[in-house]
Chains A and B, each alone.
Chain A
Amino acid sequence: MTILEKAFIGGRRYWGWIAFLVAIIAVAGVLYLWQLSYGLAITGMSRDVTWGFYIAQMTFLVGVAASAVMVVGPYYLHHYKTFGRITILGEFLAVAAVTMCVLFVVVDLGQPSRALNVILYFNPSSIMFYDFLVLSGYLLLNLVIGWFVLSAEAKSTTPPSWVRPLIYLSIPWAISIHTVTAFLYAGLPGRELWLTAIMAPRFLASAFASGPSLLIILALIVRRFTRFDPGVQAIQKLASIVTYAMLANLFFVAMEFFTAFYSQIPGHMNGLSYLFFGLEGHSRLTPWMWTSMGLAVVALALLGVPATRKNEGIVGMAAAAIFIAAWIDKGIGLVVGGFIPNPLDEITEYSPTAPEVGITLGVYALGFLILTVLYRIATAVKEEVEVGSRSQLERIGG
């Protein structure tokens, strides 16, 4: 794999960044060893709120991973040339994101050494089994596609013919990973906040807002630190996608509010009440939820007005705001909110503990490490190929 060696070529900033990430991973590793020996009691989870920060990150990152389809689909299916230089960044982001998803599930398991039981004794009626299958498959798909397309580019040739069907497969597969993850929640009879048919559509809308936002930020970083420019047009188009996706997401949230509060059914109202207004004096998450809404609205205004959208600096900030808003909504609000109130109408609130946050940061650092290495390879190849090879890209995309 000749393009792998490009990961080892870098200046002080590159290696400094990698060292920083490795340091975080090392600290998180020690914390995880503590969690393995003492138990998950070191987290803030409880008998009532049985999934917390770890699974929330997994849920959010599945969305980020799925969003690669937002650049791959238009480029390969509809020959949308503008995305020609950004597809590899999207695919590699998907690889890093799915890896983090799997890692977050592993750190959340009570008995991780038994994880293979999911394969050995699989249960075809368990959504978790299918989630495992589709996530692993998506990881492999994106890794293989990204690698072979990039390798071909590095050698100024076309990728092998079998790559194309894989690319086409990855498009519905991206939709499936997030739909299946939504099914984890949407089929549970006892959790009324989640028992809604629009859980999967909501997940997808939020994914297509958060993923491309991150991609915008990463593209801006890549342009700043390397000689590879994904293109002003591509970033503008991503901004449009983010805008419409976030609008759809907010629309879906509004729909949830309507059904809950117009019907006045307590089961439907309780979850949303806890999150946005507080319930029986418990309101730990309300500032977070309103911050999320505020960030989303401000960002949408900035992205909607042509004058501000043309300014890439503002686009970057709006993208960050949308990313954070989606992270709060899906990462914190949705997962924790589903457990409050509990099946006996009692409220146990949740906050992550310091070790929990530490381990979470470690997994993020590992994901960013993978992302850094993959992006290093991608940008190095692209930089070399840039000179007079635009026709090459058109051939691959056509």
Chain B
Amino acid sequence: MRADRRTFLKVAGLTLLGLGMRPAVNAFAGGAPRTALLPAGVSSPTVASAPQIATPLVGSRWAMVVDVSKWAMDAKDCIEACNREHNIPQFKDPKEEIKWIWDETFDKVFADDTNQYMSADLKEMHLPVLCNHCDNPPCVRVCPTRATWKDESNGIVMMDMHRCIGCRFCVAACPYGSRSFNWKDPRLGLDMEHLSSSFPTRTRGVVEKCTFCYERLAKGLMPACVEASKNRALIFGDMGDPNSEVRRLVESHYTLVRKPNLGTRPQVYYIIS
């Protein structure tokens, strides 16, 4: 290497410049670098008002039984309870609707069980429609990020709004139309003064649906719609428990599930009477 004076001066100058970078940056950044590790044991007085940790409700296969004959009385309360609890936006345009549980007529929900001479009363009977939390859910199969998955410990088809990329493959895959997508900011359809603080809102670009109130079950509470169902149109319980009410109801009554021929094994059972 040719080391003449000029080259030496150039290299020395650059070196000094480089060495001076860090102190210069620190001077502008201000303050000493932060320590990032936790100190060993911190002594503290115990704090009196830590919140109550409740005992969760536990079930191996959560399911719902609908007593259709009582639904008309409870419909409004149940739907409003869910909407309120979860800050579900109310948009007038049906294209943008978000609905987790809602009301439909028998001939739409059970089109394959409708015949032409059936009474109008039966055809127009109102029933609730929600996510069926299928045992073999196509929506879980298609999700590319596992933003929706089946919790094998309790049977709920869960939704992680943090991970969802909004591709809507699950919406296309669901044979029941149970899923809604946030086409715009849901807060535009909410009364921001009267929000429920127990559940976040969502943001535009993610899919949402009924999650059997997993966050309430974890705190020992029944799902909001079930709690609001004063006439017991909605009965919730552990289908995996042979002595549970839902299990006994399904074993002792003829119940319909939606589109059984698709093999999804839905876990919302309708007692038609």
Task: Verify B205–A110 contact, CB threshold 8 A.
Answer: yes
Within 8 A of B (CB), among A176-216: 184, 188-191
Q: Given A123-B143, A188-B173, answer yes or no on A46-B96 (Cβ-Cβ < 8 Å).
A: yes
Please tell me if B72 contacts chain A, counting CB pairs below 8 Å: no
Task: Verify B96–A47 contact, CB threshold 8 A.
Answer: yes
Please tell me if B144 contacts chain A, counting CB pairs below 8 Å: yes
Alpha-carbon gap, A114 to B167, bound state (A):
11
Q: Which residues of A contact B174 (CB under 8 A)?
A: 190, 343
| Interface locus among B4-12, B45-53, B151-159, B178-186 | B178-186
Chain B interface extent, by class: 35 or more
Q: Given A41-B96, A123-B143, A189-B138, answer yes or no on A343-B167 (Cβ-Cβ < 8 Å).
A: no
Q: 0/1 per residue, A220-245, Cβ < 8 Å to B?
A: 00000000000000000000000000
Alpha-carbon gap, A38 to B183, bound state (A):
8
Q: 0/1 per residue, B116-144, Cβ < 8 Å to A?
A: 00000000000001000000001001111
Q: Given A110-B206, A126-B141, answer yes or no on A48-B184 (Cβ-Cβ < 8 Å).
A: no
Max chain A CB contacts within 10 Å: which of B108, B129, B138, B204?
Answer: B204
Alpha-carbon gap, A38 to B163, bound state (A):
20
Task: Verify A109–B167 contact, CB threshold 8 A.
Answer: yes
Interface of B is mostly: loop
Alpha-carbon gap, A127 to B205, bound state (A):
21
Please tell me if B164 contacts chain A, counting CB pairs below 8 Å: yes
CB proximity of A50 to chain B, nearest CB, Å: 4
| Interface locus among A249-257, A309-317, A344-352, A359-367 | A344-352
Please tell me if B80 contacts chain A, counting CB pairs below 8 Å: no
Please tell me if A39 contacts chain B, counting CB pairs below 8 Å: yes
Choose from A105, A114, A126 the contact partner of B163 (Cβ within 8 Å): A114
Q: Which residues of A contact B143 (CB under 8 A)?
A: 123, 126
Q: Which residues of A contact B101 (CB under 8 A)?
A: none
Task: Verify B180–A110 contact, CB threshold 8 A.
Answer: no
CB proximity of B163 to chain A, nearest CB, Å: 6
Q: 0/1 per residue, A326-342, Cβ < 8 Å to B?
A: 00000000000011001
Interface of A is mostly: loop
Task: Verify A111–B96 contact, CB threshold 8 A.
Answer: no
Alpha-carbon gap, A125 to B143, bound state (A):
8
CB proximity of B173 to chain A, nearest CB, Å: 5
Q: Which residues of B contact A128 (CB under 8 A)?
A: 142, 144, 167, 169
Q: Which residues of B contact A127 (CB under 8 A)?
A: 142
Please tell me if B176 contacts chain A, counting CB pairs below 8 Å: yes
Task: Verify A125–B111 contact, CB threshold 8 A.
Answer: no
Alpha-carbon gap, A43 to B107, bound state (A):
31
Q: Given A45-B183, A46-B94, answer yes or no on A188-B144 (Cβ-Cβ < 8 Å).
A: no
A343 to B, closest residue via Cβ = B177
Please tell me if B175 contacts chain A, counting CB pairs below 8 Å: yes
Alpha-carbon gap, A342 to B180, bound state (A):
13
Alpha-carbon gap, A115 to B183, bound state (A):
17
Q: Which residues of A contact B171 (CB under 8 A)?
A: 50
Task: Verify B95–A114 contact, CB threshold 8 A.
Answer: no
B258 to A, closest residue via Cβ = A343
Q: Which residues of A contact B168 (CB under 8 A)?
A: 50-51, 110
Please tell me if A391 contacts chain B, counting CB pairs below 8 Å: no
What 8 pairs across the A-B complex have the smallest Cβ distances? Answer: A110-B166, A190-B175, A110-B205, A46-B95, A39-B204, A39-B184, A41-B183, A343-B177
